[in-house]
Amino acid sequence: MARKDALSSLRAILIRRRDALRNALNGDLTLLRELRSESPGDVIDAAVDTAQDEISSQLAEVEARELGSIENALERMDSGAYGACEVCSGKIPLARLQALPYATMCIECQRETEESGGHWMAEHQAEA
């Protein structure tokens, strides 16, 4: 029962983080539109604006990836697949889920996938 309660708590955390990321991404896009609508004063201002746009864009990209992972985790919760490793189907330890609530693999499968550059996961899933 403790795992079920913990998973319920993780759902609330994921929903709050998802909403925060959506708000941040909406703000980032608004800011970029505002920056583009203003005409730069000189070459240095234009360079600074371009650098700031690039940083904002990269941050938005990272946040968008995290948002996608969170939405995937919420879908897995709805389907009953949350907490199970996508590769070996074993239970993902609760400590891992608490550290990374949108983890889709157990630590062993994640490590093997990273070490093999993603090839191990595809081979392992083909065997299953």
- pLDDT confidence of residue 3: 81
Between 94 and 25, the more confident residue is 94
Over residues 24-34, the mean pLDDT reads 65
The CATH class of 1-80 is mainly alpha
Comparing C-alpha atoms, which of 77, 90, 94, 86 is closest to residue 18? 77
Is the pLDDT at 46 greater than 70, yes or no?
no
Mean pLDDT of the chain: 81
| Banded model confidence at residue 75, pLDDT cuts 50, 70, 90 | very high
Please state the length of the chain.
128
Between 50 and 33, the more confident residue is 50
Residue matched to tokens 């995937």: 72
Rounded to whole angstroms, the Cα distance separating 81 from 69 reads 14
- pLDDT confidence of residue 62: 86
| Banded model confidence at residue 61, pLDDT cuts 50, 70, 90 | confident
Ordered by start, the domain boundaries in the chain are 1-80, 83-128
| Banded model confidence at residue 63, pLDDT cuts 50, 70, 90 | confident
